[in-house]
Structure 1
Amino acid sequence: EIIKFKVGDLAAVGCLVDSCRTCSSCKEDLEQYCLNGATGTYNAKDPYLEGRTYGGYSQKVVVDEHFVLSVPENLDLAGVAPLLCAGITTWSPLRHWNVKEGSRVAVVGLGGLGHMAIKLAKGLGAKVTLFSRSPGKEQDALALGADKVVISTDDKQMANAKGQFDVIIDTVPYVHDLNPYVQTLAVNGTLVLVGYLGPLEPMLNSVPMILGRKSVAGSLIGGIAETQEMLDFCGKHNITSDIEIIKMQEINEAYERMLKSDVRYRFVIDMASMKG
């Protein structure tokens, strides 16, 4: 029996299509941390049918309504699509670490995740700074809502940023030195990794963490209730992802462009192009 939706409603499926819904994580609306293993929307083992899940490449999908999300009618649907991954990946740590009006937030990296972190943190009322290795991204960052840009390769700028931030959202997807960013955390501040999975190199220096009760943490997407909260917030503040729509036939070219960081800031595939 379907209770939450009716025919004609705008609905979306995010990164998850199933979880046990009985473990302590699921009962706390943290399905992404399901202790018995959540089922991903794409390339996960299907717990009910043979094979894998195909996500957006499916022609049709049957999902329990618990994992279906309501989309605000005022938002562009193509711009909503990345909210279900990049959006919730950055929204969840902002909410967990209580970012609010006046919070001092920094974002490391300006890409698909980074541009959403800026938009959402700004929407929550935070003062937002972008850390970037490239001076050329300053105007883009300011246009997205950042209040300031700090060039992370400039020792003077990094020294001036010491002890400033309550929360840092690190979106960089490859191994990099976290120590300079830890120095910019305020007392009780937290640096949250959402982009890189793997061993840290160089080693993390615990001294500034101990002396300032600073933390380095990680965060994975978000639960269903939190994802709905994010969509409702985006509807209220008219926030969507900056996208470029491509045809299925352009995927290889888009992949090469992505490797060169030549996208602002997410590609969205027009699935109707498959018919051609």
Structure 2
Amino acid sequence: MTFRGKWALITGASSGIGEQFARQLAKQGAHLVLVARSKSKLESLAAELRTSYGIKAEVIPKDLAEQGAPGEVYRQCKLLDLDIELLVNNAGFATHGLFDQLSGVRQHEEVMLNVAALVDMTHMFLPDMLRKSSGTVINVASTAGFQPLPYMAVYGATKAFVLSFTQALWWENRDRGIRFFALCPGATDTGFFNVVGAEEAAVGKKETPEKVVAAALRSLEEGKVFVVPGMQNYLGAQLSRFITRKQGLRLVGGMLRPRGGTGTPQNAGNPSDLAGNR
């Protein structure tokens, strides 16, 4: 499997896991479409990768949480006559605290970015891949997708959706030349927790984005459906198989309970530039 000379589109590409996908794919010779909110960060990264690896790189600044944004990204790719053969749905963010005391607007944006935008991007780019019987879709889920998360209820539910959605589409497309793959990292050393607004959400040792993305590309090469990078994260993801649902809720709820009260009512940050990487 090689991505040399092929076009890869990466959302949330300006930092963290998304930036590492861009760097590692560019090193393999892939051409890039970089999508995130921060135009200046994207342009700087694109210029660096063009110079370092001799690849082509296009920049599409867009907040994918906005209604219709995925369609605008797709249309821009068509206007540029770009044939996307690898789609990396990476953009996402989390909220932390009591559900009823967090901003309803913010949590709606969380669902729109983590779920709706990912579904829309996949639905738009998949038919072009199917016409050629060739293509790959990588969806960034999380270890959060393996069990409910008290105090991060919406985030955990969105990542459970991403994992289930990806596995289902893997089965639907397994004989059609299209590969679907879910990356399920645990705590990763990115700006993710600055947006969450609570360090207690960082359960376990933080992995580097470089290792997380390397594990994803290696597992994709091996034909796996998903990967949980790191043995500790993998074992944590399997815990729900050996304890009751109530025991799991008690354990996870104790770890994620806000230390300062009810949680951050309105998290700050630039969500479309971050990966759902917890």
Structure showing the higher helix proportion among its residues: 2
TM-score (norm: length of structure 1)? 0.32
* More RCO (CA 8 Å, sep 6+): 2
Q: Which has the larger Rg?
A: 1
